């Protein structure tokens, strides 16, 4: 894995063919000094934006990319730091570009995303009510068999994407089965991006046993409780897993925890504005 030496001044949607992750942000939902934990995946001429929060469009613009250039989306769950930018994308697509953006989405999550979030700002834009399919082209992932938990798969050009369900919210449940829709993202069977999740060692350990990931990007909250995995909880993972785990989705005061994370044996903190190439 190669990490860019400096934050990228101009983000591009193609590269020479290596799998690359660009962190638009690495902050928690309430961070003020960090952008939101959204990631742009690029491989050759293929690209995919994983999550599009309220600040995503502006953050990409400041890195030289207009959101309208992003054609492919995958949404991990319905918190605003992951979906707050989608209304701009869908309305810009319909009324300016006159071209639908594409979303990798299951029928079950499409219903949740449309009915509970996106519908309000877009349904009554024209003389007839609009639906999700008027605004988005769908790429349907298939359900995989024989996985430790519900997992979907899609191929976007050369990028293989697997989406295991996760245990994010509410905080009262003990299984992904009882949670609102949320998923992690596995890229080319090499990189795991948990997106937001509570501490759920079975997720990380069972998929790492199967794929032996190069790197795991993991949600990291700086206190224990609520709907995220905390640094203290993550510190109980096996040393071999921590050595390849990069922490993300952290709060503004993350620098106060650098020594603790180093002592616990984590690989690094994700760097906002940087790219990770595999």
CB of 194 to Zn ion, least distance (A): 11
Query: How buried is residue 119: exposed, middle or buried, by Cβ count under 10 Å (0-12/13-18/19+)?
Result: middle
Applying CB under 5 A, the residues found at the interface with Zn ion are 29, 79, 81, 196
Distant-in-sequence, close-in-space partners of 47: CB < 8 Å, separation ≥ 6: 13, 14, 40, 41, 70, 71, 72
CB of 208 to Zn ion, least distance (A): 22
CB of 120 to Zn ion, least distance (A): 20
CB of 169 to Zn ion, least distance (A): 7
CB of 234 to Zn ion, least distance (A): 16
CB of 97 to Zn ion, least distance (A): 28
Q: Which residue has the tokens 């349904």?
A: 123
Q: What's the token pair of residue 188?
A: 């080319």
Round to whole Å and give the CA distance between 71 and 62. Answer: 18
- Say how far residue 212 (Cα) sits from the centre of its chain: 20
Between 81 and 200, CB nearer to Zn ion: 81
Between 196 and 208, CB nearer to Zn ion: 196
Between 79 and 102, CB nearer to Zn ion: 79
CB of 200 to Zn ion, least distance (A): 14
Between 94 and 270, CB nearer to Zn ion: 270
Phi then psi for residue 126, to 5 deg, are: -135, -175
Task: For residue 39, list its beta bridge partners.
Answer: 23, 50
Establish whether the linkage from the previous residue to 172 is cis, with ω within 30° of 0.
Answer: no
Round to whole Å and give the CA distance between 125 and 263. Answer: 54
44-83 as b/e, with b when 16 or more CB fall inside 10 Å? eebbbbbbbbbbbbebbeebebebeebbbbbbbbbbebbb
DSSP per position, 153-175: EEEETTEEEEEEB---S-TT-SS
């Amino acid at each position: 894995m190669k990490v860019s030496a400096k934050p990228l001044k101009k983000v591009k949607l193609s590269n020479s063919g290596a799998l690359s992750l660009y962190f638009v942000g690495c902050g928690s939902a309430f961070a003020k000094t960090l952008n939101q934990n959204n990631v742009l995946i690029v491989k050759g001429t293929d690209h995919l934006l994983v999550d599009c929060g309220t600040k995503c469009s502006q953050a990409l613009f400041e890195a030289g990319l207009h959101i309208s250039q992003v054609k492919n989306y995958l949404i991990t769950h319905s918190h605003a730091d992951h979906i707050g930018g989608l209304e701009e994308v869908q309305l810009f697509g319909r009324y300016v570009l006159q071209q639908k953006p594409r979303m990798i989405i299951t029928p079950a999550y499409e219903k949740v995303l449309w009915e509970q979030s996106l519908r309000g700002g877009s349904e009554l834009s024209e003389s007839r009510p609009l639906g999700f399919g008027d605004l988005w082209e769908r790429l349907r992932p298939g359900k995989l068999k024989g996985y430790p938990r519900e997992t979907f798969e899609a191929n976007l050009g050369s990028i293989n994407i697997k989406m295991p369900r996760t245990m994010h919210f509410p905080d009262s449940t003990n299984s992904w089965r009882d949670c609102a829709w949320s998923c992690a993202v596995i890229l080319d069977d090499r990189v795991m991006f948990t997106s937001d999740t509570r501490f759920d060692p079975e997720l990380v350990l069972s998929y790492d046993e199967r794929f032996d990931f190069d790197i795991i990007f993991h949600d990291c909250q700086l206190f224990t409780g609520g709907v995220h995995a905390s640094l203290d909880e993550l510190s109980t993972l096996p040393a071999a897993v921590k050595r390849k785990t990069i922490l993300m989705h952290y709060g503004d005061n993350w620098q106060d925890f650098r020594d603790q994370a180093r002592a616990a044996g984590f690989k690094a903190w994700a760097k906002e504005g940087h790219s990770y190439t595999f």
